[in-house]
Amino acid sequence: MWKPKQLAAGELPTVHLQPSDLMVAKHPTMLVTILGSCVAVCLYDRRRKVGAMCHGLLPKGKVNMSHQDCSRFVDCSIRKMVTGLAEKCGSLPEDLEAKVFGGARMFSSAVEGKSSHMQLVGTENIKSARLALQHFGVRVTAEEVGAAGGYKIFFESHTGKVYCNSLRRKNSPSLFAGR
């Protein structure tokens, strides 16, 4: 079976993203996060061999929110990654491809029936990611979203390869390699 360590020929620096984190990786880096109803978006620039990943908690920030305080929101995190890749690496939105993960259903239907917020946060995070990417003209090349349970994501920033492992389904890893 394929393992995340097989992504890189050698050892890569590894950064574990927590909720509300994002990273623009100018140098080869393994970006790792664990998701439930949150969403991770991996951006990759094939031409420049650079990438970025975010771990967004909630769908949308306020319009007047400061750039510095908005990383917990999916839409704002995507904006920060697109502008960060442009500023640090010279990436253009049309050179980027996105892979979207998460937005899982984390609660049983009995629990979800008691709170519409619990039912909607994952779905709304997915919608927000898709809309923000569309707004910036970034094409989505892979998705693994909305399943029951969480995910563990490994993103190799300089190749665009992503390993997505479901935390609920046994033996269900999938590789979303760059095309």
**Per-residue three-class SS string for the chain:** CCCHHHHCCCCCCEEECCCCCEEEECCCCEEEEEECCCEEEEEEECCCCEEEEEEECECCCCCCCCHHHCCCEHHHHHHHHHHHHHHHHCCCHHHEEEEEEECCECCCHHHHCCCHHHHHHHHHHHHHHHHHHHHHCCEEEEEEECCECCEEEEEECCCCCEEEEECCCCCCCEEECCC
Catalytic position from the list 38, 76, 89, 164: 38
Active site residue 70: no
Catalytic residue set: 38
